[in-house]
């Protein structure tokens, strides 16, 4: 995992050093101009003080000035903001290690009233990616039927560990596990969050039989991988539209198993969003959740019968 | 005999100096051409590969002659090692290292690396336009140098020869 201090340019690093000892608990950093730095540790919000320690008192919190965020962005973009033109337009960029940076500022529209760019970026939300090897262990006993992988959908609200579970599931399906030998997996990593690729090489563990298409829109990527890489399993993050669902169906009709994630608080909610088509395609549903002492997983079949 | 040897040495030395100036002049043109080629490669990498500057440095380095190759690789590696340094600082150090190894002037190198060492633009076209402008300026310098090449080269050798003769007359 990339150390947090390395995400910041040299002069800003000292502040983040102390937090590195609690990096596994850190899920979010919020930077806002002229406001205190806020960090989320184990789901709880704290302020960051001048010496780098976390505090609940706003009086001891460190406020950042106008130069802080532009300097940080310049650094994470490797002084090449132009290379992130599309990402800035979409409001987020993914950096090394799969950490996602959400941005907000003043929007510039084009003639068609679409977002051309965002300037004066003074609000940043850094979501720290966590690789948890073994996060999908509990899914595997239910993931196969007659040595065939089931089509799996992972459903949860944002920030509840969907991507973490997907990443580990991809790794275990690809490498092989106690229930089945490894399979060729095609991973379409549109936002570079799953593999955390840097210069095309995955920095997270995604399995030895996984081919990763980094930064490609899902529908395009799925078709490309189907044609070119002959995958046995296709995996995508954040199923967002009917077109993507259609492509997944096509892939499944070609004999390719599919694993996907979707935003939602329940399978019914996702089912409603996709007009009743989700249960026809997917056979196993995984619902990551939160408990006081960490994360939980609920695993159900199409009928909603809970396996554990 | 001693006087004759002294004469040959002095004359040979000044003539050699003239020839060195001539070679340096020709090498400056060659090195400027390498810089233009480097900018052309950067332009291509940014236009088609949408690469960041360190990424482009790595891709371009392999197509460049030394010492540019080494400097570009070092620049990319230093950024990728996440040392936290500003790209501007890394390029400034790179220019300092290149200067003694190349026959170009400081302003030539500063011109060539301006697009990377300064603040980057938010849009790709502007970044490419910046490279294009630098390329144009270097090409103009090459054109001027080429125009005066024959004259300057002859002048260097002639000055060396005349300087040697003058020294001989003074010493005789």
CB contact, 8 Å: A8 with chain B? yes
Whether A74 has its CB under 8 Å from any CB of chain B: the answer is yes
Tally of structural domains, chain B: 1
Contact between chains at A82 and B124 (C-beta distance less than 8 A): yes
Closest CA to B11 of B149, B155, B172: B172
Is the residue at B10 inside a domain?
no
Residue of A nearest to B119 (CA): A79
Task: List Cβ neighbours of B138 (8 Å cut-off, separation of 6 or more).
Answer: B32, B35, B36, B39, B108, B111, B112
**Element counts in chain A: helices (H) and strands (E):** 9, 16
Q: How far apart are CA B132 and CA B39, in angstroms?
A: 8
For residue A284, give the nearest of A150, A162, A135, A156 by alpha carbon.
Answer: A150
pLDDT tens digit sequence for A74-111 = 888 888 888 888 888 888 888 877 788 899 988 889 88
Tell me whether residues B120 and A85 touch, CB distance under 8 A: no
What domains are defined for chain A? Answer: 4-127 (3.30.450), 140-301 (3.40.50.300)
Domain that holds residue B135: 27-171
Interface confidence (ipTM) of the complex:
0.76
For residue A292 the two structure tokens come to 């006081």
Please give the share of chain A, as a percent, with pLDDT higher than 90: 32
Q: Rounded CA gap, A122 and A182, in Å?
A: 46
pLDDT tens series, chain B, 172 aa: 777 787 788 778 877 877 778 788 888 898 899 899 999 999 998 888 888 888 889 888 888 888 888 888 988 888 877 777 888 888 888 888 888 888 888 888 888 888 777 777 788 888 888 889 888 998 899 998 888 777 777 777 778 778 877 877 887 7
pLDDT at res. A292: 65
Q: Please check whether residue B32 lies inside any domain of the structure.
A: yes
Across the interface, do A85 and B124 touch by the CB < 8 Å criterion?
yes
Helix (H, G, I), strand (E, B) or coil at B143: helix
Residue A182 pLDDT grade (very low, low, confident, very high; cuts 50, 70, 90)? very high
Residue B52 lies in a domain: yes
Q: Are A77 and A93 in contact (CB under 8 A)?
A: yes
- Residue B84 in 3-state DSSP? coil
B16 part of a folded domain: no
In a domain, B64, yes or no: yes
Q: Is the dihedral of CA A191, A85, A198, A26 positive or negative?
A: negative
pLDDT at site A294:
66
What pairing do the DSSP bridges indicate for beta strands A144-145 and A148-149? antiparallel
Question: Nearest-CA distance from B102 to chain A in Å?
Answer: 26
Is residue B8 situated within a structural domain? no
Closest to B51 (Cβ–Cβ): which among A11, A83, A85?
A: A83
Peptide bond into A197 cis (omega under 30): no
The string of DSSP codes covering A258-304 is EEEEEE-SSHHHHHHHTTT-HHHH-SEEEEEEEETTEEEEEEEETT-
Whether B11 is in a domain gets the answer no
Helix residue ranges per DSSP H, chain B: 2-49, 53-61, 68-80, 87-98, 106-117, 124-147, 149-171
């Amino acid at each position: 995992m990339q150390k947090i201090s390395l995400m910041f340019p040299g002069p800003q690093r000292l502040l983040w050093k102390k937090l590195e000892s609690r990096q596994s608990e850190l899920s979010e950093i919020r930077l806002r101009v002229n406001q205190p730095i806020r960090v989320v540790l184990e789901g709880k919000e704290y302020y960051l003080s001048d010496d780098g320690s976390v505090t609940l008192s706003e009086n001891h919190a460190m406020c950042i000035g106008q130069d802080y965020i532009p300097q940080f962005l310049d650094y994470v973009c490797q002084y090449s903001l132009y290379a992130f033109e599309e990402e800035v337009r979409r409001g987020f960029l993914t950096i090394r290690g799969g950490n996602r940076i959400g941005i907000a500022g003043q929007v510039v529209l084009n003639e068609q009233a679409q977002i051309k760019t965002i300037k004066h970026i003074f609000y940043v939300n850094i979501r720290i990616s966590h690789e948890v090897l073994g996060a999908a262990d509990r899914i595997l006993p239910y993931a196969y039927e007659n040595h065939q992988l089931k089509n799996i959908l992972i459903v949860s609200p944002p920030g509840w560990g969907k991507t973490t579970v997907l990443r580990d599931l991809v790794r275990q399906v690809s490498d092989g596990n106690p229930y089945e030998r490894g399979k060729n997996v095609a991973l379409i990593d549109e936002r570079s969050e799953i593999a955390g690729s840097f210069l095309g090489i995955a920095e997270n563990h995604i399995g030895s039989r996984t081919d990763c298409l980094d930064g490609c829109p899902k529908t395009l990527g799925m078709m490309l991988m189907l044609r070119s890489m002959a995958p046995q399993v296709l995996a995508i993050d954040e199923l967002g539209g009917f077109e993507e669902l259609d492509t997944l169906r096509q892939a499944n009709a070609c004999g390719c198993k599919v694993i996907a994630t979707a935003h939602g608080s329940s399978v019914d909610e996702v089912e409603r969003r996709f007009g009743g088509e989700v249960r026809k395609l997917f056979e196993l549903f995984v619902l990551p959740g939160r408990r006081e002492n960490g994360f939980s997983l609920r695993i159900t079949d199409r009928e909603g019968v809970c396996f554990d | 005999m001693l006087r004759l040897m002294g004469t040959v040495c002095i004359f040979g030395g000044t003539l050699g100096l003239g020839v060195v100036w001539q070679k340096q002049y020709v090498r400056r043109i060659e090195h400027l051409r390498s810089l233009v080629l480097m900018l052309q490669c950067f332009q291509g990498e940014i236009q088609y590969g949408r690469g960041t500057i360190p990424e482009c440095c790595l891709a371009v380095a392999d197509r460049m002659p030394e010492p540019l190759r080494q400097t570009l690789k070092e620049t990319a590696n230093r950024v990728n090692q996440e040392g936290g340094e500003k790209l501007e600082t890394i390029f400034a150090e790179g220019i300092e290292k290149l200067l003694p190894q190349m026959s170009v002037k400081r302003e030539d190198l500063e011109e060539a690396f301006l697009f990377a060492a300064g603040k980057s633009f938010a849009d790709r076209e502007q970044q490419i336009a910046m490279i294009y402008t630098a390329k144009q300026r270097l090409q103009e310098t090459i054109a001027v140098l080429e125009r005066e090449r024959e004259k300057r080269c002859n002048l260097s050798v002639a000055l060396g020869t005349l300087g040697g003769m003058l020294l001989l007359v003074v010493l005789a």
